[in-house]
Amino acid sequence: MEILGASLRVCVDDLETAVHFYERLAGVPASRFERGGVQVAAVGCFLLMSGPEAELELLRKVAATIAVEDVDEAHRVLSGLGAHVIAGPVATPVGRNLLAVHPDGAVYEYVDRRAPE
């Protein structure tokens, strides 16, 4: 499994103000979508999230989002290494994802850009 990159997850109260700052910082426009009542803006390596506190409380437990070529392959590799996949793979607005708890207890989201089959 090749790791293609990682995104830093940032929960914010005011998404519009945060997007303006991070677009200027990263020098790229935000890509936006909504999932489960949470507004998301991807800006460079930053994943900005804003929404209901109950949802954000869960999202804060995920250390980072890791991009991979194929979430199914990530599932096989992670399981083989002793990680526990707690959700997914499932379709998202931009591909597929899964959540895994590593043996050290850290929680990560793994994502790919593949359309659901």
pLDDT digits 0-9 by tens, 24-44: 999 999 999 888 899 999 999
Bridge-based pairing of strands 3-11 and 46-50 is: parallel
**The predicted structure's pLDDT at residue 93:** 76
Q: Which residues of the chain fall below pLDDT 50?
A: none
Mean pLDDT of the chain: 93
Cα–Cα distance, 65 to 107 (Å, whole number): 10
Cα–Cα distance, 114 to 94 (Å, whole number): 8
Cα angle at 23 between 65 and 109, to 5 degrees? 5
User: Does CATH place domain 3-112 in 3.40.1000.10?
Assistant: no
**The predicted structure's pLDDT at residue 113:** 83
In the chain, what are the domain boundaries? 3-112
- The two tokens of residue 24 are 């200027």
**The predicted structure's pLDDT at residue 115:** 64
